[in-house]
Chains A and B, each alone.
Chain A
């Protein structure tokens, strides 16, 4: 099993550009989520999904969109990037929810100029 994979590993954007961060898992997990990690602030939940076709907002959802058309994939979209979205983004998955081990991907480092 590859576990949780994320692409790209690193991306530079200009303010106003859009992009999609990809996340895929091959463990047949129902629950998937996106976090951003900023220095001194730990991990903050952006969006999550409890299964295909179901998504919900986390702690810091503004500026991000998600969809879940398959069990395996959970892309994160930035429609109009802002410098405040410069961060490291992690995707995670688990069998059924937040009250169990989360399996994290290797992360995507995003720089918005």
Chain B
């Protein structure tokens, strides 16, 4: 079946440094790639997304890059802050109405003071 692999599963960075989370998808028909942030005890919240017709998207300290040829996409967080500590999920969705959203297994990001 379709699959999204996410790495690393845990990541610890010094406050102010950058963090990078990577995902690889298997379905070449995937064309929408959202990233969600989940804080402790809460539901996931969309932080950024990218569609297959662009290679990069930025929103302040957060950026996402997409390599369709290699079928992988990455989340980049610069100048990390304590409030960035959370679990991050990537996902992939195909354009077909029958396509089901597939989530990665998550990355627990910890920001060291």
Give the interface of A toward B (CB within 8 A). 4, 40-45, 58-59, 90, 92, 97-99, 101-102, 104-107
Contacts and interface: CB of A to CB of B under 8 A. Distances in A.
A98 B105 contact: no
Interface string B77-94: 000000000000101010
A45 B101 contact: yes
A104 B44 contact: yes
Interface of B: 1, 4, 6, 9, 31-32, 34, 36, 41-46, 49, 89, 91, 93, 95, 97, 99-106
Contacts of B1: 59
A106 B43 contact: yes
B96 to A, nearest CB: 10
A105 B43 contact: yes
19 contacts: A40-B106, A42-B4, A42-B103, A42-B104, A42-B105, A43-B91, A45-B101, A58-B100, A59-B1, A59-B100, A90-B44, A92-B43, A98-B100, A99-B93, A102-B34, A102-B36, A102-B46, A106-B41, A107-B42
Given A101-B49, A104-B43, A105-B43, A43 B93 contact: no
B43 A101 contact: no
Q: Which 5 A-B pairs have the closest CB atoms?
A: A104-B43, A42-B103, A101-B46, A43-B103, A99-B32
A59 B103 CA distance: 11
A98 B102 CA distance: 10
A90 B43 contact: yes
Nearest to B9: A40
B16 to A, nearest CB: 29
A105 B104 CA distance: 19
B43 A98 contact: no
A63 to B, nearest CB: 18
Contacts of A97: 97
Given A41-B105, A42-B104, A42-B105, A98 B99 contact: yes
B46 A42 contact: no
Contacts of B43: 4, 90, 92, 104-107
Given A58-B100, A101-B46, A104-B44, A42 B89 contact: yes
